[in-house]
Amino acid sequence: MSFSILGTGKAVPAYVMTNDELSTMVETNDEWIRTRTGIGERHICKSETITELCVEAANKALEDAGVTPAELDLIICSTMRGENVTPSQGCMIQKEIGATCAAFDVNAACSGFIYALDIAAGFFARKKVKKVLIVSMDNLSNIIDWTDRSTCVLFGDGGAAAVLGEGDDLLSIHLTAVGNDAAIRIPHGTNSSPFYEHEEERAVLHMAGNEVYKFATAAMANGIKRAVDEAGLQQSNVDVVIPHQANIRIINTAAKNLDIPRERFFCNVEHYGNTSSASVPIALDEASKSGFLKKGDIIAMCAFGGGLTTGSCILRWSKD
Ligand code: UT7
């Protein structure tokens, strides 16, 4: 037994920042950002808190699934940084939606949603749960360097959720990690200890873009190939690919290295930028609600990110 996805939901901040607006803050322009990344705009938190967006996404997914908070047996939140160090973001979601089940966070950066799916699959396999809520949320705008044009143009804020129930729709899932703090790193930034002997660093994202690009293009194609093999399928059996929305060129290169037609890849990076662990579930929610995804479709999902981590999986979509 694995699980079926019963419902999805997303929540993004109201404020939309265009490339032209960004060009007034750093030396960049719409043409560079669009041709190098495919990004046209991103949503940025102003008044919204992390918890508010998580709760909005969670409530939409619960409604879509027809499941009440009281029915939940587990909440997993994938995030690099929740509202507080403790309580976990999972516990904050549990409190706000009025659930009573166990709750915790998982940090696998942009691969967080797929890591959370695999963890949930273990709970289902052990028959410990009947209904699980996964919420993936990252608020990159408060941890990027807004003076660094090579990174600040890439990211946006957002959250998304999925409700899982008992079923057999997870056909394969594969996680990887290669410990590497040179390609992507965000330091904590504060240390209250008067005894600590190291210098404090600003809590902003540092990234070696070209290194991550090479890693990502290989990771996406290899991850999907491996997940397809483990599911006992052929690439031609994949109806829809939901890739991590980091850069349209990464998606296009991965598509060229796979035997899956490019038009089967769902892409919304133009409107959100890279929303880290929310990227795959936001795309899943939009693919489902727009009709791109149909009942019975075989989906390949693939993400990569800080860690460096990757997650790939093959799922059957049995929702109407
Ligand atoms: O979830 C995982 C997160 N990370 C990623 O997915 C990032 C993966 N990497 C990438 O997507 C790409 O490497 C970037 C979009 C970050 C960079 O694209 P690129 O085509 O590899 O550009 P580059 O870093 O080689 O820079 C090319 C030029 C440089 O100028 P010179 O040295 O050729 O004169 C940069 O200084 O573009 C310049 N540049 C910019 N120009 C205008 C860098 N950022 C900008 C900018 N606007 N925002």
- Residue 264 Cβ < 6 Å to ligand 1: no
* Token couple for 39: 């990004």
Catalytic residues: 110, 244, 274
- Residue 28 Cβ < 6 Å to ligand 1: yes
| Residue that has been written with the tokens 């919420």 in this structure | 135
What is the pLDDT averaged over residues 243-265?
97
Q: How confident is the model at residue 3 (pLDDT cuts 50, 70, 90)?
A: very high
Bridge partners (DSSP) of residue 94 are none
**Is residue 164 within 8 Å of residue 132, measured between CB atoms?**
yes
The alpha carbon of 153 and the centre of ligand 1 are apart by a number of angstroms equal to: 10
Residue with CA at minimum distance from ligand 1 atom 44: 150
Residue with CA at minimum distance from ligand 1 atom 1: 305
The alpha carbon of 210 and the centre of ligand 1 are apart by a number of angstroms equal to: 7
d(CA 173, CA 299): 12
d(CA 159, CA 18): 19
Residue 76 pLDDT > 80, yes or no?
yes
- Residue 35 Cβ < 6 Å to ligand 1: no
What is the pLDDT averaged over residues 167-194?
94
Candidates 138, 150, 113, 118; CA nearest to 27 is: 150
Return the amino acid letter for 48.
E
**Is residue 183 within 8 Å of residue 218, measured between CB atoms?**
no
The helix/strand/coil state of 209 is helix
Tens digit of each residue's pLDDT (9 = 90 or more) over 181-238: 999 999 998 888 999 998 888 999 999 999 999 999 999 999 999 999 999 999 999 9
* Residue 181 CB partners (closer than 8 Å, separation 6+): none
> What pLDDT does 43 receive?
98
